[in-house]
Structure 1
């Protein structure tokens, strides 16, 4: 199909776009509009239980994590937001169904709590109708995982496992997340030194921007050679699902948009 000109910006402040987002079924989040004019979304239940976002610095990964997480929250999900920079997701601190952690000790403890929650949910034997979906949004994931590994070494005892139990909990969430209604949004190119290869393959929807040919080949080899990237455009991504690639202009949702959406939903500017 012939490509069409992409919009230069998609803003959540557009009331028509907001209405379309609010009408999406539970478990589905809007990513943006493709060059063919199609709405591109991620469906956590039927397509991809987990999402990988990978960009160069300034490529919009933080905005993408915020947009996706906020949409699932609006549908009734809860979220654990791991924000190693401590300031990238301040919006999350304002919402009652979000746990925000920034310091590495807090992130470690939160992931141990995630392991316990996974066990609890799996123990329900599929009776999860009244259990809210849980989104685990990991910003700057590679830096977070490296810091978790170093943190574990500061107090690991001789008989303790070598792998950080916090990292093991995140891997477990990738493996059993669909069955437990737990979904990971991972920001960064997964490194085999801290996240094992099989677990990385469970990140089935890829959202890439400002990538190198090497990054494309590692993350999306089945999608063919890396596409040429035009001049960097804010909010421009390539979305890969089931081996298909869609160049996509992503929605822009600011911190203020998210907070207002939840605290003053009748505000037309939210």
Structure 2
């Protein structure tokens, strides 16, 4: 196993030259962190359209969502932020290219609307030049899926489908989002009670930190046995193309993300 002691001790947005490196990345590519040999561990959503993030307590899942979402927004993407905790992503609320929803009803309606947007984009038949990339960001996603299922049961009629249309919409995006330039960043375990197995298989990049061996085997079975977790802040394992990369994650605060994007919108980036 690669020696994780060769990882950087910390990787911050304020490190000299790092902001410039982020701004030089190609559209659709975001830095996750730095690997053991000093190389960038990044995600290209045109190649691997959806990202699953699963961490134990203190693993930094909300920070990972923030740093990735901020990079895509900087590149001109729009975001639908489904903030189950209500306060985890308030840094996005004043950004003009972000739709922020926190209540179960609001998240339900946003996902139902997303289904229509997916179909609209698919009917463009690849002519998406005027359609910005759309990031669907779900924090505490498994809890949100359970709340959506219960919410649907409160007003589902006899002839309505049993499954919540909001959950169906998310699963449809996981299957067809690449063609529509819609990408899901899902913070959770994507258990059988939240997403159908075929939908869970659409996460080509999996970021894991401080998870149990059982969770590792469920989410990254082809990557082999679970490596040793680290309590060091910002340490994670990124699984891409069945390869595991020990990684020091990029850390960006709420204020840094909001200020960067406000400067971007003002043309000062």
Does the alignment pair 1:189 with 2:189? yes
Does the alignment pair 1:237 with 2:236? yes
Deviation sequence 1:9-60 (CA, Å, 0-9, x none): 11101240111111000000000001121110000112x1100000012210
Structure-1 residue corresponding to 2:221: 221
| TM alignment of 1:1-270, pairs within 5 A | 3=3, 5-46=6-47, 48-230=48-230, 232-265=231-264
- Contact 1:28 1:41 (C-alpha < 8 Å) held by counterparts: yes
Q: CA RMSD of the aligned region, Å? A: 1.6
- Contact 2:92 2:100 (C-alpha < 8 Å) held by counterparts: yes
Q: Distance in 2 between matches of 1:101 and 1:66?
A: 15
The answer for unaligned runs of 5 or more in structure 2 is none
Please, which moves more after superposition, 219-228 or 258-267? 258-267
Secondary structure of 1:264's counterpart equals helix
Secondary structure of 1:138's counterpart equals strand
Question: Which aligned runs of 4 or more in structure 1 are off by greater than 3 angstroms?
Answer: 1-4
Q: Distance in 1 between matches of 2:70 and 2:37?
A: 26
CA 1:125/1:265 → structure 2, altered by over 3 Å: closer, same or farther?
Answer: closer
Deviation sequence 1:58-99 (CA, Å, 0-9, x none): 210000001101100110100000001100000110200000
- Contact 2:111 2:170 (C-alpha < 8 Å) held by counterparts: yes
- Contact 1:2 1:36 (C-alpha < 8 Å) held by counterparts: no
Q: CA deviation at 1:266?
A: 11
Q: Distance in 2 between matches of 1:144 and 1:17?
A: 34
CA 1:84/1:2 → structure 2, altered by over 3 Å: closer, same or farther?
Answer: closer
Q: What's the TM-score once normalised by structure 2's chain length?
A: 0.96
The size of the alignment, in residue pairs, is 266
Q: What's the TM-score once normalised by structure 1's chain length?
A: 0.95
- Contact 1:84 1:139 (C-alpha < 8 Å) held by counterparts: yes
Secondary structure of 1:256's counterpart equals helix
Q: Distance in 1 between matches of 2:79 and 2:102?
A: 14
Secondary structure of 2:250's counterpart equals strand
Secondary structure of 2:247's counterpart equals strand
